[in-house]
Amino acid sequence: MASIRSAARSAVHYLISLLSGPWYALRGCYRQFRITPTATRLLGPQYLRSRDAIEIDITYACNLRCTNCNRSVTQAPDKTHMPLDMIEAFVRDSIAHNKRWRTIRVLGGEPTLHPRFLDILHVLRKYRGFAPECSIQVVTNGHGKAVQAALRKIPPDIRVENSAKEGNVQPDFGPFNMAPMDDPAFRSSDYANGCSIMTECGMGLTPGGYYQCAVAGGIDRLLGYPHGRASLPRDADDMLDLSRTLCRLCGHFKDGHMIPASLRAPLLDEPKSAAWVKIYADWKHHRRGTRSAATPAE
């Protein structure tokens, strides 16, 4: 009986992939038109950043550095942690501006590695006194004893999204480091169109400030954090300047929307376009220079 159920599920998945393929191909064609400057002027940006969902990257430390990480945790390892007072300011500003978040997602890196992880959750739970309907979520790789021990301490009213990763090769990830600005097919695009991440996952708060999405904040980390908003943006702020500056580097921009893993070829290597090769080289050079300057001369 179990084998029959398994075969039935496989048949259903196969049928769904057959039906979905043409639909996503059509969406891809529309995307190519939609991101042109002419279409953007006529219709406005295809995607706008969320007003009721936010992702907070509280740390870039990680115990499982996955290939094609869209926070560049593998490509540019860093142990920067968000100060607790940034979380306190976020809660304070949200209440002051009557901001009722539908979801607040806590990520990284691996969020449980933040030295004040539980304190951060405590501050965010206080926000529920103002907006009790808000869903607070922790997104974790679930890998290793230290992470699992921290997860057991999370209060039961916080939802845990555990991907339970067992290795650092993630075939379902996309080619994040293939910058559209390096692709002739996308060079004339209006990057204000963004992608579905900032709509479906939410805007972002990182150690560098507020962004249209947390992925953009991860990109800005490598540029020295010159672009993030210092305070909670008002709803009238679409942050289109950030999209035009940072989305041109993000491989997610090309598709614009999430394509099911079953319709994509597994990604087993880590491709990088010219812009990203230079960004990582410059970042490493700056890191070496900073460390040398911090070392007293003998």
Helix H or strand E segment including 56: strand 53-57
Residue 210 predicted with pLDDT over 90: yes
Tell me how far apart the 2 most distant CA atoms of the chain are, in Å. 74
Residue 156 predicted with pLDDT over 80: yes
Quote the tokens at residue 230: 């210092």
At residue 130, the pLDDT reads 97
At residue 294, the pLDDT reads 54
Assigned CATH topology for domain 53-277: TIM Barrel (3.20.20)
At residue 24, the pLDDT reads 84
What distance in Å separates the CA atoms of residue 263 and residue 18, rounded to the nearest whole number? 9
Quote the tokens at residue 270: 């880590």
At residue 293, the pLDDT reads 58
Please name the residues in contact with 196: beta carbons below 8 A apart, sequence gap of 6 or more. Answer: 47, 256, 257, 258
Q: Where in the chain are the domains?
A: 53-277
pLDDT in tens, 97-155: 999 999 999 999 999 999 999 999 999 999 999 999 999 999 999 999 999 999 999 99
Residue 44 predicted with pLDDT over 60: yes
How large is the average pLDDT for residues 259-277?
91
What distance in Å separates the CA atoms of residue 250 and residue 275, rounded to the nearest whole number? 10
At residue 4, the pLDDT reads 57
What distance in Å separates the CA atoms of residue 219 and residue 212, rounded to the nearest whole number? 12
pTM above 0.85, yes or no: yes
- Weakest mean pLDDT among 7-16, 88-97, 197-206, 251-260: 7-16
Please report, rounded to a whole number, the percentage of residues in the chain having pLDDT higher than 90. 83
Q: How far is CA 116 from CA 87, 120, 150, 173, 275, in A?
A: 11, 6, 11, 29, 35
